[in-house]
Structure 1
Amino acid sequence: MLDEVASRVPVSVGADCVQVAVDGVDGSGKTVFADELAQRLRSDDREVVRISVDEFHHVRSVRYRRGRNSPEGFWLDSYDYASLRRRVLDPLGSGGSRSYQPASHDLATDLLVSPPHRHAGPGAVLVVDGLFLHRDELFGAWDLSIFLQVPFNISVARMAARDGSVSDPEHPSLARYVQGQRLYFAACTPWQRADLVIDNSELHSPTLVSVR
């Protein structure tokens, strides 16, 4: 599967970077898949910049302004897309400077951060993992986008095994997250916007579901 996906990552005809998104619900395997794809691309001698949207959260006062249990708040207020665009997507986009910053927020301390600028080489591949990457604010950003399709009963069970959380996706304690992601589905149908939809229910044997 990694060979198949890597073969579909465009090659820049100039100095511009190529931007790839790995989207999916919590527990779908986004980070691992993105890391493995990055390593696969590096094995082809392609320079890769790895970014996670989790480094671009809003501060808590914004994230929880609709209430700590609000699904709407999770869907609408979790991430600072303006900072993601300004610090990563625009400089690594068409005609950009290729000088980027990999984060804007420290989740543990809830502090805004401004890390030193890094520089991507000509034609580097940006691989971004995270939730909600097919939302309207990011429309047109991606040269290739991937949606990892995993049902909530599987993804939530994975998170429970990892974090010791509740394994029932309908449990009230998970309403903010599960219902927030269902709002995303209703608004954006990410599996229709994605270039590649991959069933990642079986981590060791992902299956290509559709190609756009």
Structure 2
Amino acid sequence: MRVEPITWELLAGHLAERTLATTSADGSPWLRLGIDGAPAARPEDLAARIAEELRLRGRGVLTVGTGGFLRPASLRYEYGREDPDTYLSGWFDTGALWREVLGPLDAGGSGRVLPDLWDPGTDRATRSPHVELPHGGVLLLHGPFLLGHWFPFDLTVHLRLSPGALERRTEAADRWTLPAFARYEDEVAPGRAADVLVRADDPRRPAWSGLP
């Protein structure tokens, strides 16, 4: 896929403008954007930039990270603390993301989103209050392995790191996760599945595929 150099600032602006021109496919009054990427690619940073651009344009925004929707430690570590297959398919509570984050933003939904559910530090529920997203508002959900679940996103962005860059930028203690990302690449092909591909090997010089 052909990509062109861009700055993070321009990228966020283009994605915000595309959001403003988007109509939800299911008639929902809310829009749902997915920012997919390994922790080393820092998808939360791009989500924050897009959120700021949308707020400057008068849109209500809520950013939610999948790190707040981990499953309990007893389930995450059922096959050991460093099992890459479980990391790919068993660490994140996709059912809770459907129920508490995406479902309320369906057409006819309440608009009341739970911003996080589980604190991995205490291994207990966070008990955070729901947040009501106003009509016309935008959800930005960021984290790894977002594609391939049929989540009802209106726009998806994948931050791609080459295997070498992913290894270099992943902390040594977390390199056991690398096979999970290799499997995700093989099985889901997120660079082709996403609406927008961003190559982020050099965090100072991203390149993107352009808007669909």
Shorter-chain TM-score range: 0.7 to 0.9
Report if aligned partners of 1:146, 1:197 keep a CA contact under 8 Å in 2: yes
Deviations for 1:4-60, whole angstroms, at most 9, x for unmatched residues?
222222444776210000001220121111111111111111111110010000011
Identify the residue that residue 185 of structure 1 maps to in structure 2: 185
Identify the residue that residue 6 of structure 1 maps to in structure 2: 16
Identify the residue that residue 165 of structure 2 maps to in structure 1: 154
Identify the residue that residue 103 of structure 1 maps to in structure 2: 116
Alignment of 1:37-186 (within 5 A): 37-136=50-149, 139-160=150-171, 165=172, 174-175=175-176, 177-186=177-186
CA drift at 1:145: 0.2
Report if aligned partners of 1:11, 1:123 keep a CA contact under 8 Å in 2: no
SS of equivalent residue, structure 1 residue 91? helix
Q: Where in structure 2 are there 5+ consecutive unaligned residues?
A: 1-10
CA distance in 1, matches of 2:44, 2:87: 19
Task: Output the aligned Cα RMSD.
Answer: 1.9
Identify the residue that residue 7 of structure 2 maps to in structure 1: none
CA distance in 1, matches of 2:179, 2:105: 33
CA distance in 2, matches of 1:153, 1:107: 29
CA drift at 1:209: 2.5
SS of equivalent residue, structure 1 residue 58? coil
Deviations for 1:136-174, whole angstroms, at most 9, x for unmatched residues?
3xx1410000001112332343343xxxx36xxxxxx62
Equivalent AA in structure 2 for residue 58 of structure 1: R
CA distance in 2, matches of 1:205, 1:93: 36
Equivalent AA in structure 2 for residue 38 of structure 1: A
Alignment length (residue pairs): 199
Equivalent AA in structure 1 for residue 113 of structure 2: Y
CA distance in 2, matches of 1:210, 1:2: 12
Bigger Cα displacement from structure 2, 62-71 vs 18-27: 62-71
With structure 2 as the length reference, what TM-score do the two structures score? 0.86
Identify the residue that residue 207 of structure 1 maps to in structure 2: 207
**Percent of matched pairs sharing the same residue:** 25
Report if aligned partners of 2:112, 2:132 keep a CA contact under 8 Å in 1: yes
Bigger Cα displacement from structure 2, 65-74 vs 52-61: 65-74
With structure 1 as the length reference, what TM-score do the two structures score? 0.86
CA distance in 1, matches of 2:136, 2:152: 16
SS of equivalent residue, structure 1 residue 95? coil
Q: Where in structure 1 are there 5+ consecutive unaligned residues?
A: 167-172
